[in-house]
Amino acid sequence: MLPLDDLLVFDLSRVLSGPYCSMYLGDFGARVVKLEHPEGGDDTRSFGPPFLHDESCYFMSINRNKESVAIDFKHPRGRALALELAAKADILLENFRPGALGKLGLDYPTLHAKNPRLIYCSISGFGHAGLPEWTRKPGYDLAIQGMGGLASLTGDPDGPPLKSGVSIADLAAGLYGLVGILVALHARARTGRGQHVDISMLDGQISMLTFHAGNHFGTGAVPSRRGNKHPSIVPYETFRAADGYVNIAVGNDSLWRSLCKAVGAPLAVLMDDPRYATNQARVAHREALATILDPMVAARPVADWVALCEGAGIPCGPILSVAEALAHPQVLARDMVVPLEHPKAGPIRVTGVPVRLSDTPGAVRTAPPMLGQHTRQALTELLGMDAAALDALEREGVIGVSS
C-alpha cells in the first residue's frame, strides 16, 4: 500500500515550487494529473540545455510519478474539462499569480462551492492575503531570497550578498505546500471539508531565518554575512586544508575538548584556557582562535582531518561536488539515486524519496511524462469520454496528445 493512493491531485502548477510539491504526493501514491498547455506545456520543458533527446533535464528532475494531460483551459471547452476534473479531485495545486485563475472560474471559492472536500493549495510569491499591492506581484526565487533576508546572510563578510546555490525559496515553498496539504487532509478526515492552503514564498524564507531572527529580536543587532562561519558556535566552519576544504563542526564544549585531545599540540594546551574553554568564550575570542586553527588545518590534507575528527567523534566532512555527492556510497545505499527508463530520453536517473516510512514507503515508479502522454487515458478514466469525443477535441486544439 502507498499511503496516498486513494487521492487524486489536479496539478495546475508549473516551473519548480508546485511541481516539487506534487512530485512527493506522487511518490507516496497519489494520482497526480498534471495539466499542461498543448503548446509547449510546463515552462521547464524548454529550460536548457542540457536536454536528452529534446527532453529537458530540468523538467525530468521534478516531474516523475505524474500523468501529463494537455488541455487549453483558456478555451471554453477546455475550461469545462478542467472544471470537471477539479470537481473530482481531492487536491488542487496551483502557483499562478493571485487572481489569475479567478478569471477562468478556477479559483478557490468557485471550486469549493462545487467540491466542498477539495483541498486547494496556492503557492505564490507574496501570498493571497495581506497588502493588495504585494499579493498581486509575481514571485521569483532570486528576488524572494533577497527580500527574505537570506541573501544578506550568504557570502563573505567583505563580499556581495549571494543567493543559495539551489533555488531555496521555490523548494521551501513546495515543501511548505506539502506540509499544508497533509495537515489539511488530516483536518478533512475529521471535518469532511477541504480548505484553502495559502503558501507565500516570502513567508517561507522568513520562517527559515530561525535563530538569525531570534538574535535580532533579542538584541536589536542586524545579522551580517560571515561566510561559512557560524555566528554563535566556534569553531563551526569551513577550513582550507592542504589539498582542499573541510568542514569541522565543534558544536559544544565536549567536542572542543575532544578536538584538543585528538590534535595534541598546539591545541592541547588551549583546552582549559579560559579564553577558549567554553563556547561563549570562543565566540568572544574567535579571531584569536582563528590565528591558531587556520594554519594548523592548512598544514594537513582533507583526508587526515576527516580521519582524525571521525576517530574523535567530531562532526566533519569534505566539500563534495554534485557528482561526488550523487556517487557517495551512503547516498546510493539509501536509494537516493534511482534509474528510470523514459519513453523518449531513454535511461535517466532521478533523485530518490527523502522521507522513509517503515510500513508504507514511497517509491519512484514512473518516468516524467511526455507532454500530453496521458491526455486520452485520463479523460477516458476520469470523465468517461469516448474516442470520438476525444478525437473532436484534439482536432479543435482543445487537447493535445504526445506523438
Catalytic residues, by residue number, are 170
390: number of CA atoms within 13 Å, CB side?
18
**CB neighbour class for 337 (10 Å; exposed up to 12, middle 13-18, buried from 19):** middle
CA distance 82 to 71: 8
| Beta-bridge partners for 34 | 11, 68
- 274 Cβ contact partners less than 8 Å away, ≥ 6 residues apart: 281
Give yes or no for a contact between 22 and 92, defined as CB atoms under 8 angstroms apart: no
* Long-range contacts at 379-386 (CB < 8 A, ≥ 24 apart): 379/69, 379/81, 382/8, 382/33, 382/85, 382/88, 383/81, 383/84, 383/85, 383/88
CA distance 155 to 228: 8
3 state DSSP class of 306 = helix
**What is the dihedral sign for C-alpha 106, 111, 117, 119?**
positive
CA distance 101 to 125: 15
**DSSP letters of 30-74?**
-EEEEEE-TTT-SGGGG--S-EETTEEHHHHTS--S-EEEEE-TT
E-strand stretches of 230-367: 236-240, 245-249, 316-318, 337-342, 346-351
What letter does residue 163 receive in the DSSP assignment? -
What letter does residue 126 receive in the DSSP assignment? S
- For residue 119, how far is the Cα from the chain centroid? 21
